[in-house]
DNA sequence: CCGCATCCTCATGGATACTG
DNA sequence: CAGTATCCATGAGGATGCGG
């Protein structure tokens, strides 16, 4: 029999006339914002999402994507190579609140990595968030390489931003373990400590420009 | 038998080495951020929270408060008048990401209020969020009165902020229905339309200063 | 393989009653 | 007033199936 369960589940609403509560109605369910975080650097395939978000059930991923699409946050694209999911312009604007929440959560990284999963892709949200307030003129570009994955951190007079799959590789590349990269950005390590640890290599001069110690700290808790 | 169910439920963690994911581990569960929103303007009693968050189950409220306290977001205070809950300094810093998410969700208010609940207290988060970017020099103070509840919106050169239970009432008070107040702030209504509707009274001159039409719109979707 | 849909089990949320 | 205790409904997690 051709029964097609459309599964148009209507998510539980808070029923409040409040922009914040209505935002949570759209993106407040479990896994939803993590899917958006994955898509922030660029479109992804279903299976890429599934493997990057270790632990999400396949039916949940499908349902969240459907819900996000229905609400105009995510766009489902049929390309020659297959299906890909991308953020709509409105969905991409989640970047700001998410970066802010990541900054708020930075102290929670102090307990270390433990057995937690890590995807270098997540740095695209975390690094600009943690370095908010840092500016550079002339602009600085620094390659970051972790777990065999490369992204470029750019700092100009408007602040930091991250790019994945850049046109050209910057001349200076920092190669280090996730804890070191994140610790650096969060201020848990100074450039000198990191250099002394021998855990990464890079051009000290450029790094010192990019990561000044005297920025206002959002993580001094 | 004296069995005391401590109910130290350890909430499901995403298990990711990512500040954003860890933040969601702390405040990502259902109702949690709405509790924080309630506490942003100031401490509240258990029953106040319960009635303001219409629809939350009492056991859930108790459990969320316990979890927030255990994570250092909320502080439980025993005062002479009873128990009150307040945000810790770290918890209060959620103000920024929450305001940003509220701004993102502003377009969702366009569908109108419908049967949704409304608490004037929520304006303390919404109004500064929606008016982000508006400055005034010299500072402007405007009373807002809705549903028999008053707060003061202050705009100075640093931007807008809201106060509840202010020391003194400003000379100009805007008294209107929730939809009108929110619509005004979101840019859905102009001062002229609002005045023409006869739904509120106020000093047009001051209002025009406080709500300039030519600000950058975050709600043009 | 990729992109899901179904099924099953158990954890979490929601409603209500009750208690110090 | 400030919660606990209980019970039922719903959503999450995991395995598997299945058409393209």
Q: How confident is residue B136, by pLDDT bands cut at 50, 70 and 90?
A: confident
Same structural domain for residues A149 and A203? yes
- Domain count of the fold of chain A: 2
Asked if residue B52 belongs to a domain, the reply is: yes
pTM > 0.85: yes
CA of A142 to C1' of C10 (A): 47
Q: pLDDT tens for residues A157-189?
A: 888 899 987 667 777 778 888 888 888 777 655
**Nearest Cα residue to A19 out of B161, B148, B185:** B185
Please provide the average confidence, as pLDDT, over all residues in chain B. Answer: 82
Asked if residue A101 belongs to a domain, the reply is: no
Domain that holds residue B56: 19-93
Asked if residue B103 belongs to a domain, the reply is: no
Same structural domain for residues B122 and B214? yes
Model pLDDT, residue A196: 57
In B124-163, the residues whose Cβ lies within 8 Å of chain A are 125-126, 129-130
Collect all residues with Cβ–Cβ distance below 8 Å to A219 and sequence separation of at least 6: A103, A106, A107, A130, A186, A187, A188
**Sites in chain A below the pLDDT cut of 50:** 1-6, 200, 204-206, 208-221
Q: Report the residue of chain A nearest B123, measured CA to CA.
A: A18
CA of A59 to C1' of D16 (A): 12
**Mean pLDDT value across residues B42-56:** 96
Same structural domain for residues A134 and A211? yes
Is B124 in a helix, a strand, or coil?
Answer: helix
Collect all residues with Cβ–Cβ distance below 8 Å to B167 and sequence separation of at least 6: none
Q: pLDDT tens for residues B162-173?
A: 998 767 777 777
Same structural domain for residues B187 and B145? yes
A83 Cβ within 7 A of any nucleic strand C atom: yes
Asked if residue B203 belongs to a domain, the reply is: yes
Model pLDDT, residue B1: 39
Same structural domain for residues B78 and B170? no
* Unique residue bearing structure tokens 């433990």: A114
Asked if residue A85 belongs to a domain, the reply is: yes
Q: What percent of chain A has pLDDT over 90?
A: 50
Q: CATH code at B126?
A: 3.30.1050.10
Same structural domain for residues B78 and B37? yes
B13 Cβ within 7 A of any nucleic strand D atom: no
Same structural domain for residues B130 and B170? yes
Q: How confident is residue B48, by pLDDT bands cut at 50, 70 and 90?
A: very high
Is B109 in a helix, a strand, or coil?
Answer: helix
Asked if residue A3 belongs to a domain, the reply is: no
Asked if residue A189 belongs to a domain, the reply is: yes
Same structural domain for residues A144 and A80? no
Model pLDDT, residue A197: 55
């Amino acid at each position: 029999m051709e029964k097609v369960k459309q599964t148009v589940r209507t998510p539980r609403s808070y029923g409040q006339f409040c922009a914040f509560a209505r935002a949570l109605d759209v993106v407040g369910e479990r896994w939803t914002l993590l899917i958006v975080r994955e898509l922030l650097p660029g479109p992804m395939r279903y299976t890429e999402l599934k493997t990057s978000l270790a632990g999400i059930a396949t039916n949940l991923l499908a349902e969240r994507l459907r819900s996000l699409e229905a609400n105009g946050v995510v766009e489902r694209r049929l390309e020659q190579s297959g299906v890909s999911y991308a953020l709509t312009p409105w969905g991409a604007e989640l970047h700001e609140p998410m970066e802010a929440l990541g900054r708020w959560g930075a102290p929670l990284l102090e307990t270390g990595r433990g057995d937690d999963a890590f995807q270098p892709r997540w740095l695209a949200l975390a690094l600009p968030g943690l370095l908010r307030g840092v500016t550079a003129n002339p602009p600085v570009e620094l390659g970051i390489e972790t777990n065999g994955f490369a992204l470029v951190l750019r700092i100009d007079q408007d602040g930091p931003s991250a790019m994945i799959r850049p046109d050209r590789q910057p001349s200076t590349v920092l190669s280090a373990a996730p804890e070191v990269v994140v610790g650096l950005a969060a201020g848990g390590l100074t450039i000198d400590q990191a250099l002394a640890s021998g855990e990464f290599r890079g051009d000290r001069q450029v790094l010192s420009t990019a990561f000044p110690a005297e920025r206002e700290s959002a993580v001094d808790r």
